[in-house]
Amino acid sequence: MENFDLLMHGFGIAITPFHLMLMVVGVLLGLVVGVLPGLGAPNGVSLLIPLTFTLDPTSAIILLSSMYWGALFGGSTTSILFNIPGEPSSVATTFDGYPMARSGQSTRALTLAFMSAGIGALIGVVVITLLAGWASRFALRFGAPEYFAVYFLAFAAFIGMGSASPVKTVVSLATGLLLASVGMDNVTGEVRLTFGFSDLLGGISFLVVVIGLFGIGELLATVQEGLRFRGVSSRIDLRDMLRTIAELPRYWATTLRSGLIGIWMGITPGGPTAASFMSYGIARQASRKGAAFGSGRPEGIIAPETADHSAGTCAMLPMLALGVPSSATAAVMMGGLMIWGLTPGPMLFATKPDFVWGLIASMYVSNIVGVILVLLTVPLFAALLRVPFSIIGPMIVAICFVGAYTVSSATFDLWLVLVFGLVGYVLSRLEYPLAPLVLAMVLGHKAENAFYQSMVLSDGSLGIFFANPLVSSIMVIALALLIVPKLLHIGARLRGRRPASQEIR
């Protein structure tokens, strides 16, 4: 009941003419970001952060979160109409969305995607509403050892549960931690890893890194792939749309299952991309007509879209309540909060309730705004995709450099954008995950300070991380996430080899 009262107060903050305007602007900008390959939600949000410095934190986070929802919707548009996923999490939508659109059912495919996305986001926001207060109260029991254990849990979850190779994830995390340690140490005052560059004394801005990795890096990868836009009809037929909405209840089991998968993958560091693929795979296995998947099955669109948006929304819960982002975009948003002087975590709920519940309330409204706007603007953004990439590409580069320069008005940051653009391109070609790198950059200082304080409290003994039931439970879970998935993988490989060995005998 307390959460409901706080939510009603949040709606009073969110539903103002100014904030509604910000939601519309944010969703439209997000649609552009999601539609254009080479941008992506993390880069779009990072580019927008410098423009929010003149806004109060509540208005700024409403704008950024609305842009995030719009980017997720925009990625679905290109996946269905052009077979080009504007977002990595929209790849699974292409499997059945594009074949359905090519068969002359583009309105049905788009409506299934957008309505499923809206339902998935609603499921995620309801979970945040119900669990936010409990999660923040639970986190108030945390001290320095508990916080370090949570950060270690986040790193371990990315290694053990991520879709990439554990070794590559460790390399990505280590790179992020190294980048976070550049500059002057807050504890000892020593200068680290500046290599004589005075511009690095203040450290490396995570915004500059993100713009380089996700902006320039993805653009280089897009250019190499020789992108070509080949679309299908993008006109929305109102009667087909209403007919499709009426058939959605038939797929309630797929929607519910996908929403639950999205909740789990959003709260843990699985993320929207992993959630969409997992949901699609399970939907295919659960379907009695599994062989028809890939030819335009409705479940093949509903499953990934519901899980994608449910996971993207739920990723905000650990970021707000624990200060631990579970996706690259949530990490960028958390960096923005820290720039505005807000520290994500349990005290944020106690000291800034207007901010937290205004944001949660805005999630309900902005997702409704997103569904409406995306249906109205499909023809517009489909036409935008027909603009030659030789024109769109330089525009994206210009936006990236302007965004990087506005962070601190330093020319040195422009060189860093180029460097990290090349790094991002190389990492993506070698299939190294970028999200752990961003996570490590955001959490690096916090994890280092928590570890240092823990060592001071224990006179240098690592036993402090097993000194009470709470911290020891978190550490055991973290170690299990590191070890158990690997053991299961080894067991699966051994079971797969056993029949072959028996045949040889």
> Rounded to an integer, what is the distance from CA 350 to the centroid of its chain?
26
- The more confidently predicted of residues 3 and 31 is 31
Q: At what angle do helices 41-48 and 328-339 cross, to 10 degrees?
A: 10
CB 185 within 8 A of CB 444: no
Please check the confidence at residue 392 and state whether its pLDDT lies above 80. Answer: no
Tell me phi and psi for residue 103, to 5 degrees.
-85, 10
**CA–CA dist 26, 417 (Å, integer):** 24
Question: By C-alpha distance, which of 147, 143, 159, 141 is closest to 480?
Answer: 159
Helix 106-139 vs helix 353-384: angle between axes, to the nearest 10 degrees?
A: 160
- Whole-number pLDDT of residue 155: 82
Quick one: pLDDT at residue 227?
Answer: 56
**What is the mean predicted confidence (pLDDT) over 154-167?**
75
Task: State mean pLDDT over 47-66.
Answer: 82
Q: What confidence score (pLDDT) does residue 59 get?
A: 87
Question: Would residue 149 be called left, alpha or beta, if left means φ above 0 and alpha means ψ between -120 and 50 degrees?
Answer: alpha
Interval 312-367: pLDDT, tens: 888 888 888 777 776 677 777 787 787 777 878 777 777 788 888 888 888 888 88
Q: Can you tell me which residue has the tokens 């994206």?
A: 396
Q: What is the mean pLDDT of residues 419-432?
A: 87
DSSP conformation class of 463 = G
| Predicted local confidence at residue 268, as pLDDT | 66
493 or 315, greater pLDDT: 315
Average pLDDT score over the chain:
78
pLDDT over 80 at 494, yes or no: no
The answer to whether residue 61 scores a pLDDT higher than 80 is yes
Q: Report, in angstroms and rounded to the nearest whole number, the Rg of the chain calculated over CA atoms.
A: 23
Question: Closest Cα partner for 318 from 157, 465, 451?
Answer: 157
| pLDDT at site 286 | 76
How would you class 495 by CB atoms within 10 Å of its CB: exposed for 0-12, middle for 13-18, buried for 19 or more? exposed
The answer, yes or no, to whether residue 505 has pLDDT greater than 50, is no
Segment among 120-124, 193-197, 328-332 with least mean pLDDT: 328-332
End-to-end CA distance of the chain: 66
In the predicted model, what is the mean pLDDT of residues 151-175? Answer: 80
pLDDT, residue 37, reads 57
**How many domains does the chain fold into?**
1
Q: Which pLDDT score, from 0 to 100, does residue 450 have? A: 85
Question: Considering the chain, what percentage of its residues have pLDDT values greater than 90?
Answer: 2
pLDDT of residue 26: 87
Task: Please tell me the predicted confidence (pLDDT) of residue 157.
Answer: 73
pLDDT of 235: 61
Q: Please tell me the predicted confidence (pLDDT) of residue 459.
A: 86
Please give the helix or strand (H or E) that residue 105 lies within, else none. Answer: none
Per-residue pLDDT at 212: 81
Round to whole Å and give the CA distance between 497 and 375. 50
Q: Which amino acid is at 387?
A: V
Q: What is the pLDDT of residue 344?
A: 80
Q: How far is CA 305 from CA 149, 262, 299, 315, in A?
A: 33, 10, 10, 15
The answer to whether 396 and 215 are in contact (CB under 8 A) is yes
Average pLDDT over residues 483-503: 65
d(CA 128, CA 126): 5
Pick 289 or 314 by higher pLDDT: 314
d(CA 230, CA 81): 8
**Secondary structure class of 183 (helix, strand, coil):** strand
Looking at residue 502, what is its pLDDT?
45
How does pLDDT run across 228-241, given as a tens digit for each residue? 555 455 566 677 77
Full domain range(s) for residue 436: 2-504
